[in-house]
């Protein structure tokens, strides 16, 4: 086999986008993203791909190529470079967004800025970045020349005819590749189920301006900090209506500052104020652009909704504009924030009740157009839940693509002459959790224990026994957390059961492990009989 692509994330989920292209035994990684934890991942901060396979072959890893700067494509990069430090390629804005996390982790990285549509050679790899329109500046596709032909990764894209920065998806470049011949296409599937064409980013400018114009008091606008074109439209609308602008949230400050420095964002300095100074102006002159559109618990918008924000106390007359829709999995959190904002008297306008948001991903007709231009010999849908991948695969079959496979994380596609083969579960590709500062220490069993603790609570049983006879000298002392409001009666019965069980067990020196098992069973029987609950029972046995 001369060329293969192994998927470490992004197939069957929103996030963790990561694909390893192998040519003649050398590997180039396309993206290295994270996923935000789901509701059942208690205590987990972030979720990464499993790159243990790449650590084992670290001498073979040549470089990382980034399609764009979103966290689901770059957010795990710093941690990967800590394990496998190789050069990273990307466009200027993408590299600078990635640099922030890399510097925070203290990793010395070799970051190389690439001009779009210029071929780059690195080891056995030759690739170019092709401009696409997406909800972050400098987004690209990656076209990689290989001994088996061109492997094309679309990145995240849409066919926006009127993008804010004037840089549309470069259809002529993709048509040229299509005429030349694309051996394998990997393409964004997020909106494969949605009919028609996704409206242009510029289409939300007027609805946003109308909301800000009609707001009598203060306006708080929330969007993704990386969505610089959305920030531009919100700021423009506010300034036109006589408002001063303040940015709030660490990522918002960092990204808007970077975008202004790189000429991707143009907000007159005279119109920008610190939030403390903005608060001194009449409400009709205030526009606060902030983070928190996804209901993140410690983001500015969530704190405002709970009345805990340091500078902003919401009330009647305030308008909150959420220029976003929830990422799958965030719906409950966003709904809770919206309800709390309304409860505080604010008028809330969001992507579900007004035309103030459009997606950065291509809908079905756009995907068909793209497939028609590229005309790949083989196709693997990427970036999306399994149903999105399946829907995109059906579109490819409609277009007559000869070889179409719906793969999942850990699978590999092999290009070998005219054959396109699939190897299922070729490498480990499970979730790797960042919990605090530790990566990989938390496994699924730990999460099951945390879930059990959350559902049923915990009972700690402390018993002191005679070292020689095994007789009870102290306790049993039972302490519960999360079991019930008033557990005294139940715990008293459980304590009696422990005393009886230990007494029956005592016969000179006892094996502590067996004694702990006996105590756990005795307490469990009583609590199940009295409450029908199954808490985690932790026996502590001390030999005295």
Q: How many CB atoms lie within 10 A of CB 454?
A: 12
| 361 carries an active-site annotation | yes
Whether 357 is catalytic is: no
8 Å CB contact between 4 and 22:
yes
Residue 257 backbone class (left: φ over 0; alpha: ψ -120 to 50; beta: rest): alpha
Separation of alpha carbons 247 and 256, rounded Å: 8
**Strand (E) or helix (H) holding 243:** none
Provide the Cα torsion 443, 444, 450, 455; round to 10°.
180
* Cβ neighbours around 483 below 10 Å, total: 20
How far, in Å, CA of 186 to CA of 191, rounded?
Answer: 15
Residue 93, phi then psi, degrees to nearest 5: -65, -40
Instruction: Give me 471's structure tokens.
Output: 């007789």
Give residues with Cβ within 8 angstroms of 293, minimum separation 6. 222, 223, 224, 301, 322, 323, 324, 334
Q: Which of 227, 245, 250, 225 is nearest to 235 (CA)?
A: 245
Identify the bridge partners of residue 486 per DSSP, sorted by sequence position.
Answer: none
Taking alpha carbons only, the member of 390, 526, 373, 405 closest to residue 459 is 526
Nearest to 322 by CA among 352, 279, 345: 352
Selected catalytic residue, list 31, 188, 318, 411: 188
Q: Which of 361, 383, 388, 403 is catalytic?
A: 361
Only one residue has tokens 């530790």, namely 438
- Show the DSSP H helices in 263-323 as ranges: 275-278, 300-305
Can you read off the two tokens belonging to residue 278? 């903005």
Contacts of 314 (CB under 8 A, 6+ apart): 220, 304, 305, 307, 320, 341, 344, 345, 346
Which residues does the annotation mark as catalytic?
188, 361
């Amino acid at each position: 086999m001369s060329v293969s692509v192994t998927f470490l994330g992004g197939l069957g989920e929103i996030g963790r986008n990561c694909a390893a292209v192998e040519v003649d035994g050398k590997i180039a990684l396309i993206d290295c993203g994270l996923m935000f934890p789901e509701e059942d991942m208690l205590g987990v901060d972030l979720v990464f791909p499993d790159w243990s396979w790449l650590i084992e072959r670290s001498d073979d890893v040549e470089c990382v190529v980034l399609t764009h700067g979103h966290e689901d494509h770059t957010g795990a990069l710093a941690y990967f470079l800590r394990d496998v430090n190789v050069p990273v390629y990307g466009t200027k804005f993408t590299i600078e967004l990635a640099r922030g996390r890399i510097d925070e982790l203290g990793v010395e990285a070799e970051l190389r800025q690439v001009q779009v549509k210029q071929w780059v050679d690195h080891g056995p790899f030759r690739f170019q970045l092709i401009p696409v329109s997406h909800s972050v500046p400098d987004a690209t596709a990656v076209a990689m020349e290989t001994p088996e032909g061109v492997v094309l990764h679309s990145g995240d894209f849409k066919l926006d005819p009127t993008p804010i920065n004037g840089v549309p998806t470069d259809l002529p470049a993709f048509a040229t590749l299509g005429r030349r011949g694309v051996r394998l296409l990997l393409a964004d599937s997020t909106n494969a189920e949605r009919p028609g064409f996704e409206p242009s980013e510029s289409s939300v400018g007027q609805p946003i301006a109308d909301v800000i114009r009609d707001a009598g008091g203060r306006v708080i606008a929330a969007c993704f900090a990386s969505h610089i074109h959305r920030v531009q439209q919100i700021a423009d609308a506010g300034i036109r209506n006589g408002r001063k602008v303040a940015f709030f949230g660490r990522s918002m400050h960092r990204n808007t500052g970077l975008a202004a420095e790189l000429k991707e964002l143009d907000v007159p300095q005279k119109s920008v104020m610190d939030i403390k100074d903005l608060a001194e102006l009449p409400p009709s002159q205030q526009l606060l652009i902030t983070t928190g559109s996804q209901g993140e618990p410690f983001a500015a918008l969530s704190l405002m909704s709970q009345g805990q924000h340091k500078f902003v106390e919401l009330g009647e007359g305030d308008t909150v504009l959420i220029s976003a829709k929830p990422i799958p999995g965030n719906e409950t959190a966003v709904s809770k924030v919206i309800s709390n904002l309304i409860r505080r008297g604010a008028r809330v306008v969001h992507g579900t009740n007004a035309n103030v948001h459009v997606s950065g991903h291509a809908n079905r007709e756009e995907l068909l157009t793209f497939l028609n231009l590229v005309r790949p010999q083989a196709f693997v849908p990427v970036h999306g839940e399994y149903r999105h991948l399946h829907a995109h695969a059906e579109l490819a079959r409609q277009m007559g693509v000869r070889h179409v496979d719906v793969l999942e994380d850990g699978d590999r596609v092999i290009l070998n002459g005219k054959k396109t083969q699939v190897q299922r579960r070729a490498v480990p590709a499970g979730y790797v959790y960042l919990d605090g500062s530790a990566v990989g220490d938390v496994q699924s069993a730990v999460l099951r224990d945390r879930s059990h603790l959350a559902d049923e609570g915990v009972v700690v049983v402390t018993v002191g026994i005679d070292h020689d006879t095994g007789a009870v000298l102290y306790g049993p002392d039972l302490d519960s957390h999360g079991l019930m409001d008033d557990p005294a009666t139940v715990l008293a019965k459980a304590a009696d059961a422990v005393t009886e069980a230990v007494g029956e067990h005592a016969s000179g020196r006892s094996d502590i492990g067996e004694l702990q098992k006996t105590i756990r069973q005795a307490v469990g029987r009583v609590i199940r009989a009295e409450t029908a609950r199954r808490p985690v029972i932790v026996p502590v046995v001390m030999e005295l």
